[in-house]
Structure 1
Amino acid sequence: MTHALIIGASGGVGAALADHLAAEHTVTRLGRSTTGLDITDEASVAAALADLDPVDIAFVATGILAPDERGPEKALDAIDATAMAHTFAVNSIGPALILKHLAPKLTDTARVGVLTARVGSIGDNRMGGWYSYRASKAAANQITHGAAIEIGRKCKKAVIVALHPGTVETPFTKDYKAPKVSAAEAAANLTDVLMGLAPEDTGGFFDYAGKVIEW
């Protein structure tokens, strides 16, 4: 069977992705509360990925809206340097470290989806605010795009993309007023999109319906 890896498998979307893929693939589940993975600590990432079998499918389903007991900034005067640095450590540096240590484990036809967010799109930002979250997700998009180029030189049929899962019913979005989908539905949508992309789509940014999102 093909091997699927879920980073962030203890979260709502990550757990749903792992469960969805388990029907047809061997799944490795890694998460902070289940396996002790700390994506902000390179030693932790390296140890978690060191002995993996070759990976055919991977989802990086990690991230925070803001540090505990803080919300996203609504104005410039709400920016706190320590909180912003932590948000970047989780949302940007974490995925970069994962891709660094995952790259040698990927098969030639591997598919990797890094969950970012539409609000990380600079072109789509018409509301302002949410400085740390927006900027950290934009950075994650750039990291994913660059990794796709580098990995593609060796794994020419690989697909490495940034994915927007939509608004999913999880504790993360409990205060959101936007329409939401279940984690199980989001997992099915994201899997369909990732598996339906072609090598020429690598490095792109797509939503849960497979539509391209502007950078």
Structure 2
Amino acid sequence: MARYGMAIDTKRCVGCNACTLACKQANNVPDGVMWSRVLTDGGDMPDTPASDGGNLSMRYFPMGCQHCENPACVKVCPVGATYKDPETGVVRQDYDKCIGCRMCMSACPYSGVRSFNWDEPQYCLGHDVGDADAPAHQKHVVEKCTFCYQRISKGEVPSCMDLCPARARFWGDLDDPNSEVAKKVASRQYTHLLEEKGTKPSVYYLV
């Protein structure tokens, strides 16, 4: 049993979107879909600085599924297609069970972390890319970040960890005090997104 999570150092993140590209490639994410994005606290457009009395500041927030301990999406899924893996704590999607009702998208307070495949997934290349054991994408299902489950189930790290040039991400078992992520969370101040929603995210933003 584990409780996997990630810490992201907002002082180190430079907003390069390498994590976005790594995720898209490793998981063969279809055209027009992103499981991971990089937001700023100044606005909805990329690289928008925040302003406080004329003083500008820039802080990046890589954004994907928060893999909550108390996930709102799991509670509303009528068929159990959205579920929390008991061995890892990762919130997963079973594409074969998904009926496309999109209740999980409505319940999730973190807008934009899920996508719905209205049509057959399309790709700019004529062949699959990324991990050979990444789940195949399907029409009329909801998708989202899986913490690269095909990798972590083999003891590897999510793809966004591998490509981050600023080394702003930390990964591991939050219940293991010797893991890299647990040490960072214990030694640094952090914030959760929309903490007031009570979802208890497993993604920690170090400040």
TM-score range, shorter chain: under 0.3
In our comparison, the structure showing a higher alpha carbon Rg is 2
Richer in helix (by share): 1
Alignment TM-score, normalising by the size of structure 1: 0.27
For CA contacts below 8 A with separation 6 or more, give which structure has more relative contact order. Answer: 2
Richer in strand (by share): 2
